[in-house]
Chain A
């Protein structure tokens, strides 16, 4: 009776999760083995969709993983530096810095993309400044419509979101453990590597995974600031579902990206794990 009641209490949450997450997920997984005949989904069991994904979009997939890894590494590093300053160096102004970080979250995602368009564009703020200073004779086109612009924009957008888990884990590092390490003969660099970093690995790997997954799945940023040659896979997937109405291909591509992301995040975690004590 008691267990029955406890299970019943889980009902609503399980229903929400099941209906909104597990069911669509399972459905898409099944669909990824189907085919499309005259704009209608037709049940089947073929692997063509996956083969096609690698054939046609393999390059884009690798490129996407590379860009996402760059963004995640950059963002996590910056977030760690920022969190470190808040935790260890800023003293009382640490809270104010954290507040500022959170406030930047209020500026929406699209607003940030347009802001960077305004800054990096051919007639943007950066070029105007360079022209006014007389450093260049005519506007530079190297700032925007390339992967670099995507990296800059997404890093800016993700930074506050990455600071939170990193800072939370840094806050769990007790000062006394740092003093103990120094007492045992550790110079500041060793204290950092042996005591601070290993203690906040959970936060760092959470931030990395988070940034990586968002970057790998994003298709809006590359479309606005990435230019024609920044072909991230999210853009193609979106096209499969909307323009081409090829759900099986889109689903197969989605699951391939998912698997690739999982691999990349696990690899990053294993790499970070090397920092653990011998």
Chain B
């Protein structure tokens, strides 16, 4: 992936620059050589299913896993050969990694002690960071007397107190239950805004990536398949995998021949590109029902309609056996629709994406 030149400040130096960075374990390619730029102030998500290499990538940035190819540059300094103790990064580990023999205060102050920060400043910084992540009252506890959410906050404080140029978070919310996860997500956003740092986190949860990050790199099988803002990735997914992984998407099989795409389910339209199989991706909220005037129009049968409050979710079966999901918040179209009855679906060509392959 190349740095996006069109984004604001795109001509600046990236804070973290990965070039040809790759890792193989024997014959297994964990991360295929990739380029990635992370800018100061970014809240950057490495998103992908488990085993896609995102944690390995994060660990290479942090210095825990030596890469087998490429370089890591942070703030203009090549840190590829440096250990984690010499990098301007700090990590929040998935299992937290709190020191069980130290109190919360000692855990948080440990790094500052190593950096020979004077006692008074150290105390002040520890106190301030505990206030920021709201764990002031836990200062004298030992890690085994903390709940999962509390341990998470301590781990966050221990890394943040070092004022890293880049904060790395490995699946920061994975171990928390749903309610805590939502709460911590808001906390993380608040903390990122209040200190204005650069955060890079790994997640397999697209909702988390969309909710937190301003940039997302989607990874699949050791490769970065798309990089961009959440909106870009949602609206213009580059591959079938990305469109399926980010949000809900309808995918229809078709084929392109001589600049014209013909869908298996009927309908055809012009589209330049190489001949071969393609997939047409369209989001449920872009699909209109009973559409008379649409660029792409298909006939089907209404299988199901579920009222979900803000919108109604319709499931339409096509003759090919494929299904189209439509979300409609317009109450009027419900009239004249009956489950089991034929219905037309359609969408505007601007709302669809065509990706190669099926």
Does B97 lie within 8 Å of A190, measured CB to CB?
no
B83, B98, B101: the one within 8 Å of A180 (CB): B98
Contact flags B79-109 to A (C-beta < 8 A → 1, else 0): 0000111000111010111111110001000
Instruction: Name the distance in Å between A181's Cβ and chain B's nearest Cβ.
Output: 7
B91, B95, B100: the one within 8 Å of A199 (CB): B100
Does B93 lie within 8 Å of A186, measured CB to CB?
no
Contact flags B110-143 to A (C-beta < 8 A → 1, else 0): 1101110000000000000000000000000000
Instruction: Name the distance in Å between A255's Cβ and chain B's nearest Cβ.
Output: 35
Given A174-B95, A277-B106, do A179 and B84 touch, yes or no (CB 8 Å)? yes
Q: Which of A174-204 contact B (CB under 8 A)?
A: 174, 176-177, 179-187, 190, 194-195, 198-199
B64, B89, B98, B101: the one within 8 Å of A179 (CB): B64
User: Once the chains are docked, how many angstroms separate the CA of A182 from the CA of B97?
Assistant: 11
Instruction: Name the distance in Å between B140's Cβ and chain A's nearest Cβ.
Output: 13
Contact flags B160-200 to A (C-beta < 8 A → 1, else 0): 00100000000000000000000000000000000000000
A276 beta carbon closer than 8 Å to chain B: yes
Does B85 lie within 8 Å of A186, measured CB to CB?
yes
Instruction: Name the distance in Å between A176's Cβ and chain B's nearest Cβ.
Output: 4
Does B97 lie within 8 Å of A179, measured CB to CB?
yes
B159 beta carbon closer than 8 Å to chain A: yes
Task: Name the A residues within 8 Å of B64 (CB-CB).
Answer: 179, 182-183
Most buried by B among A176, A183, A190: A183
Does A199 lie within 8 Å of B85, measured CB to CB?
no
Does A183 lie within 8 Å of B91, measured CB to CB?
yes
Does A194 lie within 8 Å of B84, measured CB to CB?
no
B223 beta carbon closer than 8 Å to chain A: no
Instruction: Name the distance in Å between B146's Cβ and chain A's nearest Cβ.
Output: 15
Task: Name the A residues within 8 Å of B114 (CB-CB).
Answer: 184-186, 190
Given A199-B100, A276-B101, A277-B102, do A183 and B159 touch, yes or no (CB 8 Å)? yes
Does A198 lie within 8 Å of B101, measured CB to CB?
yes
Of chain B, the residue at the smallest CB distance from A197 is B101
Instruction: Name the distance in Å between B61's Cβ and chain A's nearest Cβ.
Output: 12
Does B98 lie within 8 Å of A177, measured CB to CB?
yes
User: Once the chains are docked, how many angstroms separate the CA of A195 from the CA of B96?
Assistant: 15
User: Once the chains are docked, how many angstroms separate the CA of A223 from the CA of B95?
Assistant: 54
Task: Name the A residues within 8 Å of B97 (CB-CB).
Answer: 174, 176-177, 179-180
User: Once the chains are docked, how many angstroms separate the CA of A187 from the CA of B111?
Assistant: 11
Task: Name the A residues within 8 Å of B115 (CB-CB).
Answer: 185
Of chain B, the residue at the smallest CB distance from A172 is B100
Size category of the binding interface on chain A: 20 to 34
Task: Name the B residues within 8 Å of A179 (CB-CB).
Answer: 64, 84, 91, 93, 97
Of chain A, the residue at the smallest CB distance from B62 is A183
Of chain B, the residue at the smallest CB distance from A176 is B97
Given A174-B97, A176-B93, A199-B101, do A182 and B83 touch, yes or no (CB 8 Å)? yes
Task: Name the A residues within 8 Å of B162 (CB-CB).
Answer: 184-185
Task: Name the A residues within 8 Å of B101 (CB-CB).
Answer: 198-199, 276-277
User: Once the chains are docked, how many angstroms separate the CA of A194 from the CA of B159?
Assistant: 17
User: Once the chains are docked, how many angstroms separate the CA of A190 from the CA of B111?
Assistant: 11
User: Once the chains are docked, how many angstroms separate the CA of A142 from the CA of B113?
Assistant: 50
User: Once the chains are docked, how many angstroms separate the CA of A128 from the CA of B85?
Assistant: 53
Q: Which of B224-257 contact A (CB under 8 A)?
A: none
Q: Which of A112-163 contact B (CB under 8 A)?
A: none
B54 beta carbon closer than 8 Å to chain A: no
Most buried by A among B89, B101, B114, B158: B101
Q: Which of B299-324 contact A (CB under 8 A)?
A: none
Q: Which of A56-114 contact B (CB under 8 A)?
A: none
User: Once the chains are docked, how many angstroms separate the CA of A184 from the CA of B93?
Assistant: 12
- B residues near A (Cβ < 8 Å) are 62, 64, 83-85, 89-91, 93, 95-102, 106, 110-111, 113-115, 158-159, 162
Given contacts A180-B99, A185-B115, could you give 11 more A-B pairs where the C-beta distance is less than 8 Å? A177-B98, A180-B93, A180-B97, A181-B110, A183-B62, A184-B114, A184-B158, A186-B114, A194-B110, A277-B101, A277-B110
5 contacting pairs across A/B (C-beta < 8 A): A177-B99, A179-B64, A194-B99, A199-B101, A277-B110
